[in-house]
Amino acid sequence: MSSPLNDIQFILHDVLDYRSHYAALGLDNTVDRDLLNMIMDEAHKFASSELQPINAAGDAGCTLQDGQVTTPPGFKEAYRKYIEGGWAGLCGEPRFGGQGMPETFGFLLEEICCTANMAWTMYPGLSRGCIAALAEHGSEEQKARFLPKLLTGEWTGTMCLTEPHAGSDVGLARTRAETAADGSYRISGTKIFISAGEHDMSDNIVHLVLARTPDAPAGTRGISMFVVPKFNDDGSRNALACGNIEEKMGIHGNATCELVFDQAVGHLVGEENKGMRYMFTMMNAARLAVGLQGISVAQAAFNRASEYAGERLQMRSLSGPKLPDQPADPILCHPDVRRLLLTQRAIIEGGRALVYYVAQLVEITSHTTDEQQQQQAQLQLDFLTPIAKALLTELGFESANHAVQVFGGHGFIRETGVEQFVRDLRITLLYEGTTGIQALDLVGRKMLGNQGAGLQAFGQMMLAVADECDADFAEFAGTLRQLHQDWGEISMNIGAKAMQDPEEVGAASVDYLFYSGYAVLAVFWAKIALAGARHDNAEYGSSKVDIARFYFARMLPRAEAHRQALESGAANLMQVNGLAFSA
């Protein structure tokens, strides 16, 4: 099983009304509901027939020999069909060969493919980030040179940030860029953890590399961005090589490379010393994509677990036999198995609504001509991005673990395939900024840094949803209003404490992110319940209302535990005897 199209379409059409969203931005001249559904249906067919069957085999991993990486069996062939289907250029600019579809189409494609095969989907996923950065910051010559091949998929792209001594602290990077006589640069240094950094699926790989020019200032202010192709225009191999592919916990089908640049030919993107700002074009999109990975793989794990729960016969129902002619009842009848499955469902569908909403905000900031609407969308986008990335990966990982639990001992062995989902998903809590880094960004920059403007912008939506709930879901309405009030008070209290002790920001940040995340999901589950109540299919709509009530009753209370933890202050972390940290 792959992505459930009915649930995706429910969020798109009934919960978030994408048709009106496109119309408001003037994008409906090329997009309608039938086209959107048709594209999703074709993407589902491709993912189900080409990607899902090679997911388990891909877990055997890539191989490196003489500097060349070979991807697992079937990966290269699936990518060829991806190119033939025109998927690589779905959202690109038509003047460079793209099809000009809205950016959100890329999110839909990403989810459907990632649910089928996360490791494979990372190859074209990295290309989309590279395309976005070059389209926004590259010169016209660079766009004409690189975008057409990237949009056909003949070439793929990467982002090269991390170095052995510099992980999340990119300002420590040492990779050098020296000016050459022809105006290009020579790039030297080592980058690690480069996803899709070397492989056999495309004719060329376009690397976006962060490096320093000789007179660059220290820290992130001295970082520049360079485009460094694997092959130069004359067909010669550039002076870069894959020194190693990492032996990883998961996503074995994706080559995670150490890349060594030794006077490689590179071309400056934009201006010197502005590379970090340019890279965030990729990073912000990548963070949303990683949050979507959390939901996508959780969906794949849920698919397996729900099917197994309906088939596996173990023990009798506490209320009496459900299948008296069988030796035992399906484990689906047991309350705790239902708790595990409903938790997964609440995470997946609430998370899907969140990330699709954030994708709408991205399009609004890019296309609206209303200055106030653009400003409000940007405030929400900045505020929700770290929440979407961190929360959905953390909860997605929890969901995959629940799938293993549903399978019991059978989930721990490779034959059933669910343990792969756990291993594959674990990286999402780390790359593109760990949960702790996202939390610091949320509290330090997105909340305290702009006096809570992003929270206020989202809070207006929260209260509007509460008003909608008054008639049919009064219990949701009251809860949302109380959350809104408490959220504001918690935020102000953190700010007041931080003025006395800056360590209070770091001490509260992760719990604040989770509190915020559960509050955000409550808003979307209220919207899902409203849409479910008016759905044409009463049985389908009722199931959404049931899951919403489960979320409010059994998952939202987690927010209170995070509130109590963050309000306990920094002392229980920072004033601990040093021996507590000794092995």
Helix (H), strand (E), coil (C) string for 308-339:
HHHHCECCCCCCCCCCCCCCCCEHHHCHHHHH
pLDDT given for residue 226 in this prediction: 98
How many domains are contained in the chain? 3
| DSSP-derived pairing of the beta strands 224-229 and 204-211 | antiparallel
Last residue of a domain, one of 128, 152, 176: 152
CB count within 10 Å of CB 256 equals 23
CATH code: domain of residue 255:
2.40.110.20
pTM of this prediction exceeds 0.85: yes
Confidence of residue 272 (pLDDT cuts 50, 70, 90): very high
Q: Between vectors from CA 129 to CA 123 and to CA 130, what angle results, nearest 5°?
A: 90
- CA–CA gap between residue 356 and residue 3 (Å, rounded): 15
Q: Catalytic site residues?
A: 432
Read off the pLDDT of residues 29-57 as tens digits, 9 standing for 90 and up.
Answer: 778 889 899 999 999 999 999 999 999 99
Confidence of residue 281 (pLDDT cuts 50, 70, 90): confident
- Per the DSSP assignment, residues forming a β-bridge with 159 are 208
- CA–CA gap between residue 545 and residue 384 (Å, rounded): 24
- CA–CA gap between residue 179 and residue 212 (Å, rounded): 11
In this structure, is residue 288 part of a structural domain?
A: no
Read off the DSSP letter of residue 27. Answer: -
Q: How far is CA 542 from CA 12, 336, 520, 527, 533, in A?
A: 18, 22, 22, 13, 7
pLDDT given for residue 371 in this prediction: 95
**Per-residue pLDDT at 2 exceeds 80:** no
Asked if residue 10 and residue 146 are part of one domain, the reply reads yes
Asked if residue 106 and residue 49 are part of one domain, the reply reads yes
**Per-residue pLDDT at 293 exceeds 90:** yes
**Per-residue pLDDT at 1 exceeds 60:** no
pLDDT given for residue 167 in this prediction: 61
pLDDT given for residue 525 in this prediction: 99
Confidence of residue 97 (pLDDT cuts 50, 70, 90): very high
CB 281 within 8 A of CB 296: no
Q: How far is CA 27 from CA 12, 43, 134, 357, in A?
A: 15, 21, 23, 17
Region 361-371: mean pLDDT is 94
Domain ranges, residue 23? 5-152
- CA–CA gap between residue 565 and residue 235 (Å, rounded): 58
In this structure, is residue 404 part of a structural domain?
A: no
Confidence of residue 463 (pLDDT cuts 50, 70, 90): very high
pLDDT given for residue 257 in this prediction: 97
Q: Output the CA torsion sign for 229, 230, 234, 235.
A: negative
Two tokens, residue 466: 């509460």
In this structure, is residue 457 part of a structural domain?
A: yes
Asked if residue 181 and residue 132 are part of one domain, the reply reads no
Q: Between vectors from CA 479 to CA 472 and to CA 397, what angle results, nearest 5°?
A: 105
Last residue of a domain, one of 243, 271, 299: 271
**Per-residue pLDDT at 134 exceeds 80:** yes
**Max alpha carbon distance in the chain (Å)?**
84
**Per-residue pLDDT at 442 exceeds 90:** yes
CB 221 within 8 A of CB 272: no
CATH code: domain of residue 103:
1.10.540.10
In this structure, is residue 328 part of a structural domain?
A: no
Last residue of a domain, one of 97, 119, 152: 152
Read off the pLDDT of residues 320-349 as tens digits, 9 standing for 90 and up.
Answer: 999 999 999 999 999 999 999 999 999 999
Asked if residue 9 and residue 46 are part of one domain, the reply reads yes
Work out the percent of the chain whose per-residue pLDDT is above 90.
92
- CA–CA gap between residue 579 and residue 297 (Å, rounded): 40
Asked if residue 126 and residue 54 are part of one domain, the reply reads yes
Asked if residue 172 and residue 115 are part of one domain, the reply reads no
- CA–CA gap between residue 525 and residue 559 (Å, rounded): 15
Asked if residue 112 and residue 189 are part of one domain, the reply reads no
Q: Between vectors from CA 234 to CA 228 and to CA 237, what angle results, nearest 5°?
A: 55
Question: Is residue 417 left, alpha or beta, with left meaning phi > 0 and alpha meaning psi from -120 to 50?
Answer: left
Confidence of residue 165 (pLDDT cuts 50, 70, 90): confident
Asked if residue 140 and residue 22 are part of one domain, the reply reads yes
Asked if residue 554 and residue 507 are part of one domain, the reply reads yes
Q: Between vectors from CA 538 to CA 534 and to CA 540, what angle results, nearest 5°?
A: 100
Two tokens, residue 421: 């989902």
Asked if residue 566 and residue 507 are part of one domain, the reply reads yes
**Per-residue pLDDT at 398 exceeds 60:** yes
Asked if residue 147 and residue 162 are part of one domain, the reply reads no
Question: Rg of the chain's alpha carbons, rounded to an integer?
Answer: 24
Q: Which of 480, 490, 479 is nearest to 513 (CA)?
A: 490
| DSSP-derived pairing of the beta strands 63-65 and 68-70 | antiparallel
In this structure, is residue 194 part of a structural domain?
A: yes
CB 391 within 8 A of CB 361: no
**Per-residue pLDDT at 235 exceeds 90:** yes
**Per-residue pLDDT at 280 exceeds 90:** no
In this structure, is residue 303 part of a structural domain?
A: no
In this structure, is residue 509 part of a structural domain?
A: yes
**Per-residue pLDDT at 566 exceeds 70:** yes
CB 306 within 8 A of CB 340: no
Q: pLDDT averaged over the chain?
A: 95
- CA–CA gap between residue 128 and residue 134 (Å, rounded): 10
Residues 6 or more apart in contact with residue 247 via CB below 8 angstroms: none
User: Strand, coil or helix: what is 431?
Assistant: coil
Q: Which of 259, 247, 172, 246 is nearest to 216 (CA)?
A: 172
**Per-residue pLDDT at 92 exceeds 70:** yes
CB count within 10 Å of CB 315 equals 11
pLDDT given for residue 101 in this prediction: 92
In this structure, is residue 123 part of a structural domain?
A: yes
Region 270-275: mean pLDDT is 95
**Per-residue pLDDT at 171 exceeds 80:** no
Which helix (H) or strand (E) is 261 found in, with range?
Answer: strand 256-268
Region 246-260: mean pLDDT is 97
Asked if residue 144 and residue 11 are part of one domain, the reply reads yes
Question: Is residue 139 left, alpha or beta, with left meaning phi > 0 and alpha meaning psi from -120 to 50?
Answer: beta
